[in-house]
Structure 1
Amino acid sequence: MQVRSDVPLATLTTLGVGGPAERLVEVTDAAELVAAVRDADEAGRPLLLLGGGSNVVAPDEGWPGDVVWVRSRGIAQRGAELEVQAGEPWEAVVAHAVAAGLAGIEALAGIPGSTGATPVQNVGAYGQEVAQVVTAVRVWDRAEKRERTLTNAECGFAYRDSRLKRDPGRFVVLTVGFALVESAVSRPVGYAELARALGLELGEVAPLAAVREAVLGLRRGKGMVWDPADPDTRSAGSFFTNPVVPAERAVEGCPGWPAGDGAVKLSAAWLVQSAGFGRGTRRGRVGTSPRHSLALTTEPGATAAELLAFADDVVAAVQNRFGVTLEREPTAVRP
């Protein structure tokens, strides 16, 4: 376990904003992770967990306590089941599954961040989400001061949401279990843009590697595959989730998809662009990506305050024009 002082959070997040961490505690396995969390809790120091740093807006004033940087690694495979350490980069898990002939997460390629964050956010893209394949999430329960294993049902998954997200700070993810399917081909492709890229009809299948490469290509075209050398990827991916509204409140002209129970999921990208924040809209050192209006990007020296003010203006513009409230996808951390 390595402890350092005054490490800028900007250097640990894909958005590149955030002041210094009073104590940065780097852990490399589940036991160290539990020990670091218990140490902070018993000492009464404020605690912030950080994995890949791809879904967080870190505070400009930094963090006045412990930032536990989760760097645990490991993928254990038993047949079609995987148990993955929380700090394992998510893209490495997708690559492992594809190489091993395991279907179920091939469309989730290129998503930045660590595996431990995937059940918290119920990460999803191109017609797949981890709620479809998560079997168990082993956690440290800070309220009960014990290890627990949450089943899929106990995780309370919803669209980009889970029980772990709704009860922030309580559950520290240690490992995540996934049940995949032994197959040389993908699960049926259920996303029109991906089907077009593969030359398929909706519901058809393709070799696992072909699906992964097609997804990576689509994401790169939108600046959503993390590359430190590419300024267009200084983002948290999609900054807003697609809003789900009653069907009678659907916006004319806005692409939408059935969301069950008489609801429709609207295209946040269309709403943002139509409210006056198209690709490449800049305000100082922050703005929308020139490749995708849902990705808010920063330039060197940008602050969290600048970024969040811009995001608030986007939300207000969409609300004023369409009566729809956008929700942020990344978490804005407050000390």
Structure 2
Amino acid sequence: MGTLALAVTDGMLHFELSLAHEVFGSAPDAVAVPWYDMTVCGPGPVRVERFRLEPDHGLDRLPYADTVIVPGWADVDREPPADLVDAVRAAHEAGARVASLCTGAFVLAAAGLLDGRRATTHWAHTEALAERYPRVEVDPDVLYVDNGTVLTSAGKAAAMDLCLHLVRLDHGSAIANTVARRLVVPPHRDGGQAQFVTAPVPTREDHPLTELLPWAVERLDRPLTVEDLARRARMSSRHLGRHFRAATGTTPLQWLLTQRIRRAQELLEATDDSVDAIAEATGMGTATTLRRHFNRTVGVPPDTYRRTFRLRTRPGPGEVVPDGATEVDLNADRTAP
């Protein structure tokens, strides 16, 4: 799935580095798809807490990676090394997707990648991140934030959530679930729906959207309007729009469209339903409408997506897996104990 580089230097946190290595270093046995070509890049031999690490390549290789992961940065009271910051910035400018785990967000912020963007980090350091980098919209209440080519996670366990999110984006839900089962962790947290939206939904009990968003997700097969959502939330449409923009970074209608696309992806992966049936189940109305929005959002037509991420049991004796099919264990859908 392209080249994935772990960007390391003296002072990185061992837990986040090891976690990323475990998720992206090798494919689960039950998965028969091309996996990540992972490499470790650093300025030379580095100290990662009590361990000495010998990187595969120098930091100058980061711009050649498709995805760059920046693990947690131990000493957030000082600026991260300039060579690391410059290399991460160069990688993003070259087109790499860049993700930080925990306090690795300080490296991304120093590189200017979080300016004007919503981001998060370990809750104990969100105030420091906001004070040092005032152009960053720091959200202390979410597990991770996905801005497309720039992603940030909260601390420790949330780093796993973000890594599984990346696997889900690249390989689909079933394979992400398989990885989660291997690591004995839940594939989703907070009910699962928060893990599928670009900007995680609010989790505070007193937030005006906390009850509304799950209610809407359960009714994606219906032609919901902004007025329907506003009526359910007992507020005006304009007031609702302001809450949506602050909580999700988008409008109510765009959020609904994103959820419908996510549901369509799940049905394409896990069922034999026709595109017409999926269009009806996701509130899209017609297959033509679904294809138009799906292709624009995901980048490929529904049928192509299904061939790429098709759930399938292991083939029996003499059975051939069709071209483009993904061979996985259907038990991957079970949540780890």
Question: TM-score when scaled to structure 2?
Answer: 0.27
Name the structure, 1 or 2, with higher relative contact order (CA <8 Å, separation 6+): 1
Question: TM-score when scaled to structure 1?
Answer: 0.27
Q: Which of the pair is proportionally richer in strand?
A: 1
Q: Which of the pair is proportionally richer in helix?
A: 2
